Amino acid sequence: MKIYAISDLHLPGNNDKPMDIFGDHWTDHWQQISTAWHTIVENNDIVLIAGDISWAMSLHDALEDLEKISALPGEKIILRGNHDYWWQSITKLRSHLPDKMHALQNDAIRIKDFVIFGTRGWTCPGSRQFTIDDEKIYQREGQRLKLSLLDANRKSSEDTKLIGMMHYPPFNDKQDESIFTQQLEEAMPEIVIYGHLHGFGAVNAFEGNLRDVEYKMTACDYINFAPVRIY
């Protein structure tokens, strides 16, 4: 069993939402993703999808996109991104999820020898765009990460490996400490993935080891629209 990751699929959500306005490389991006996915991922693998899944405004409109993802090989674990407005009640979402798909929110998910935890995250202090209004959401997301890690500890054993998921980078563009990195450094996961960054914002995306935690950026345009193997 292998673990792959990809994020920011930005599927149309029953809307006419062309993505090639963000660059020619986004042309037919779902076909690019689907083709690569079928080539790379096997049925017993896990694929982590770290947010911004669909442009839909309601769960009803997002279901078509979720079904398309579900039809691809592997078990999928999804996390909410800042554009996933259709993701409201986690109970309602889980009751409508297609087969082989799991939603992560304020908890952790164990599949075989892996425990997956995480939260959406938010813009971190020290970022150029951070405002007073961001502070409340930043603190709330820190609490959600704490809840997820507490559940991860309950579901872990000596032979399990921790994998972290976030939508936002868990640090600012200088990789300063944050409420997220402090918790991640204490938990010591095998790797933490994140997305959210595109275009110019992704040019200086951090990947690698930071204070003993390994990070990987998985926005789909950054990884050429193909799930990347992380374990």
Quote helix, strand, coil % in the chain, to nearest 5.
Answer: 30, 25, 45
- What would you report as the CA-atom Rg of the chain, rounded to the nearest whole angstrom? 16
Q: What is the dihedral of CA 25, 27, 33, 34, to 10 degrees?
A: -160
pLDDT of residue 100: 94
Share of the chain above pLDDT 90, in %: 90
Q: Which two tokens stand for residue 156?
A: 């872990």
Query: How does residue 200 score in pLDDT terms, banded at 50, 70 and 90?
Result: confident
Query: How does residue 35 score in pLDDT terms, banded at 50, 70 and 90?
Result: very high
For all residues of the chain together, what is the average pLDDT? 95
The answer to whether 47 and 77 have CB atoms below 8 angstroms apart is yes
Average pLDDT over residues 89-108: 96
Query: How does residue 223 score in pLDDT terms, banded at 50, 70 and 90?
Result: very high
d(CA 59, CA 53): 12
Domains and CATH numbers, the chain: 3-229 (3.60.21.10)
By residue count, the chain amounts to: 231
Mean pLDDT is lowest, of 3-7, 20-24, 127-131, 155-159, for: 20-24
Distances, alpha carbon 131 to alpha carbons 34, 144, 198, in Å: 38, 20, 21
For the beta sheet containing 3-6, the strands, ordered from the edge strand earlier in sequence to the opposite edge, are: 101-104, 75-79, 46-50, 3-6, 228-229
- Other C-beta atoms closer than 10 Å to the C-beta of 227 total 26
Phi, psi of 219 (to 5 degrees): -55, 135
Average pLDDT over residues 181-186: 98
pLDDT of residue 21: 60
pLDDT at 37 over 80: yes
